[in-house]
Amino acid sequence: MPEDGFQATAAAAGTFTIGGDLTVNRLGFGAMRLTGPRILGEPADRELAKAVLRRAVELGVTLIDTADAYGPGVSEELIAEALHPYPPGLVIATKGGLIRRGASWLPSGRPAHLREALEGSLRRLRTDRIDLYQLHAVDPSIAIEESMAALVDLQRHGKIRHIGVSNVTARELARARSVARVVSVQNRYNLADRQSDDLVDVCERDHLGFLPWYPLATGRLARVREARLRQIARDRGATPGQIALAWLLRRSPVMLPIPGTSSMSHVEENAAAARIRLTDEDVSALASYGA
């Protein structure tokens, strides 16, 4: 595709309005993989990581998702270094509620921790309010209602615009919504893993954004029913990963895929998926992937 053909490519997927007032292009960017190995420490090439972020925005991405646990802190710092002052309309979503100990991810939904985590994200992102702040995971040692109440309090103080949740069940989402106005859900979901189908349906019914993490199911999509996916990709002059993203966009109008990469060529490839329109026949052929 010529260079000009990439401009505002992500916008081709259409838009979704988060929380009633944050309109974003539906194909976003996940900033987790901009850090070092195992999502720890600095990337091998810090300048390249920042260039990838800038390129994503050039391609029409208006939603970037990150978390304080990525690095930890590194992903948020890179976003600010690359993009601050942020262009109008760019939404930075981040998360708190996981602690890194080596390669481990440990939930911490205590109100004191969430307040501290939010302040750290505000500082690293160089902003005084987070557009979309998400509880990264449910802490089994504390009621989710307590975690959400802490976020509501921070929202009242003007430090959070909208609240989301991540890695939740349908029951946990309902409990969270009993305390806070939740505008988004971020769960693992992709062509090969549809365990959160019920959450997608709830989000579509109630017009909540659904941010699927691991949207390309790295590795698995290359193995499971490979011939079918690759044939559709060949017919469209696309890659299997692009078809997987196009399927997500087709799955629901509230779907906001956030594919992440540290590669310039891959961020361009992912953005170009927004232009692919799958037929009903394509969708039927892929129906059994998540079975």
Catalytic residues: 70
CA separation for the pair 185, 284 (Å, rounded): 26
CA separation for the pair 79, 95 (Å, rounded): 14
DSSP structural state of residue 84: P
CA separation for the pair 115, 102 (Å, rounded): 22
Length of the chain, in residues: 291
Q: Are 33 and 261 in contact (CB under 8 A)?
A: yes
- Residues 212, 33, 26, 195, Cα dihedral to 10°: -10
Q: Are 248 and 212 in contact (CB under 8 A)?
A: yes
236 residue type, one letter? R
Q: Are 103 and 70 in contact (CB under 8 A)?
A: no
**DSSP letter for each residue of 88-118:** TT-EEEEEESEEEETTEEEE---HHHHHHHH
Q: Which helix (H) or strand (E) holds 164?
A: strand 160-166
CA separation for the pair 154, 123 (Å, rounded): 15
Find all residues with CB under 8 Å of 256, minimum gap 6, and list them. Answer: 16, 24, 26, 27, 28, 63, 184, 209, 210, 211, 212
- In whole angstroms, how far apart are CA 233 and each of 62, 229, 279? 26, 6, 12
